[in-house]
Structure 1
Amino acid sequence: MDDDQWMYVIVSKDLLGEYLEPAFLDDITDAFDGLARPLDFAAHPMGADAEVRVRGVEPALARLQMCAAAFFQVWTHDDPPQCSADPQHYVRSLVEAYERERERRRKRR
């Protein structure tokens, strides 16, 4: 999620490089892997790809669900996926909801 509450759901490591531009790493407020674990990004000098590191081993499911709820509320006409206690199940449902979301033309305030 970026600092404007926009969420990007990236389903492969190959696609990650397309979205991670070193100049915009500071705009990322929250990021998670497929197990809902928080991610950290570090820019490399000389314009190389950003390094991605998993922060800890525990899922941050509540934080991910909060980010998803904020995104769907302000940027879409749809509801976020229902909360789940299983991180993998929730991430799968989030990917499905993101793929069918109906985007707003402007952010809802």
Structure 2
Amino acid sequence: MKNITITLDLKSICIGALGVFAIMSLSNFNNADDRRNDAADEVRRYQAVTSEKGDLLILDTKTGQYLVDLRPRVKPRWMKGDFATDHANGEVSKAD
């Protein structure tokens, strides 16, 4: 039978260590911070506000779109709107 001998030199150890470091660095690379920020934005994306009269407004803070129900006690009637287009057209709606 033959005896198998393994010899390691400094060059082989350095190449192996650099290879392991490169593989570990590439496998752990991800955009985790971007995903965390998106998740936090989704949690606070919608806001609901009521007035003293009972009018209800639901706002999408990301797009500026909203739903308004001016008389929720009588019969719910949701009206859609967008702050950007309302501001560009100069439209302002006031409740009675």
- TM-score range (shorter-chain normalised) is under 0.3
Q: TM-score, normalised by structure 2?
A: 0.23
Task: Select the structure that is richer in strand.
Answer: 2
Q: TM-score, normalised by structure 1?
A: 0.21
